[in-house]
Chain A
Amino acid sequence: DAKTTQPNSMESNEEEPVHLPCNHSTISGTDYIHWYRQLPSQGPEYVIHGLTSNVNNRMASLAIAEDRKSSTLILHRATLRDAAVYYCILISLSGAGSYQLTFGKGTKLSVIP
């Protein structure tokens, strides 16, 4: 899987928007961009994914650069419950039936009350 680069940590004030960046300059045409997050002492949780177009769901929005070499996860109003480590992962759909997720260190988001 292609490599991603994320800042080690970020801070946000509660109820403000948060933009979490991810660089993936070696992304291939078949790579999907996935985001997971992990709250302290819990298993990771799926957040959102996309290929080329921007995506929205109830948890977040994903903005993908036109050249696909970077993307940004957007939390529209940060809450204390959003404090977690956020992982940006590239996955290529090879049709093999199972997919190995390669987790880097992610970005630790702190939310300030």
Chain B
Amino acid sequence: DGGITQSPKYLFRKEGQNVTLSCEQNLNHDAMYWYRQDPGQGLRLIYYSQIVNDFQKGDIAEGYSVSREKKESFPLTVTSAQKNPTAFYLCASSPGQSVTQYFGPGTRLLVL
């Protein structure tokens, strides 16, 4: 089945530790996105990528990093510089020139 997968479903981070969230899609979509959602809030854009080897900062990129070495994959690293990382992280993708975004199931990150 085509779709977007995110792993793990739950992730725990210790203070000062970097963690990487996985996002994979087999929809052959060009664009991929990372959003953060805090409880009771809407989604906020962290990073997005239109093509392989290219990505742009969203509204809240500080403390995060991404890479786009393959079309199918867009991993997000939450660095130790992100002081309040506890949130629900959502990955999405969209075909070129299309507005509709398709979302993965999300990863919930908790700080120990």
Size category, B interface: 20 to 34
Give 1 or 0 for each of A43-58: 1 = CB within 8 Å of chain B CB. 1111001000000000
Which one of A41, A45, A95, A98 lies within 8 Å of B94 (CB-CB)?
A98
- B42 engages A105 (CB within 8 Å): yes
- Give residues 1-26 of B contacting A (CB, 8 Å): 4
Instruction: Determine whether B101 belongs to the interface, using a CB cutoff of 8 Å to chain A.
Output: yes
Whether B41 pairs with A105 at a CB distance below 8 angstroms is yes
- Cβ contact within 8 Å between B106 and A43: yes
Asked if residues B106 and A42 are in contact (CB atoms below 8 Å), the reply is yes
Find the residue from A42, A49, A91, A99 having the highest chain B CB count within 10 A: A99
Q: How many pairs, one residue from A and one from B, have CB atoms within 8 Å of each other in the complex? A: 66
Q: Are B42 and A103 in contact (CB under 8 A)?
A: yes
Q: Within the complex, which residue of B33, B40, B58, B105 is in contact with A42, where a contact is CB–CB below 8 Å?
A: B105
| B96 lies within 8 A of A101 (CB) | no
Asked if B42 and A97 make an inter-chain contact with CB atoms under 8 angstroms apart, the answer reads no
Contact B101 A97 (CB under 8 A): no
In-complex Cβ contact of B99 among A45, A87, A91 (8 A): A91
Whether a CB of chain A sits under 8 angstroms from the CB of B64 is: no
A96 to B33: give the CA distance in the assembly, Å: 15
CB distance A43 to B31 under 8 Å? no
B75-94 Cβ-contact flags toward A at 8 Å (1 or 0): 00000000000001011101
A65 on the interface (CB 8 Å rule)?
no
Residues on the B chain within 8 Å of A46, using CB: 100-102
| Interface pair B41/A93, CB less than 8 Å apart | no
Q: B74 → chain A, closest Cβ, in Å?
A: 12
14 A-B pairs besides A34-B100, A44-B101, A103-B35 with CB distance below 8 A are A32-B99, A43-B4, A43-B91, A44-B43, A44-B103, A96-B50, A98-B33, A99-B94, A99-B99, A100-B48, A100-B58, A101-B45, A101-B101, A103-B42
A interface, CB within 8 angstroms of B: 32, 34, 41-46, 49, 87, 91, 93, 95-106
| 20 A-B contacts (beta carbon < 8 Å) | A42-B106, A43-B90, A43-B105, A44-B92, A49-B99, A49-B100, A91-B99, A95-B97, A97-B51, A97-B96, A98-B49, A98-B50, A99-B94, A99-B101, A101-B45, A102-B42, A103-B43, A103-B44, A105-B41, A105-B42
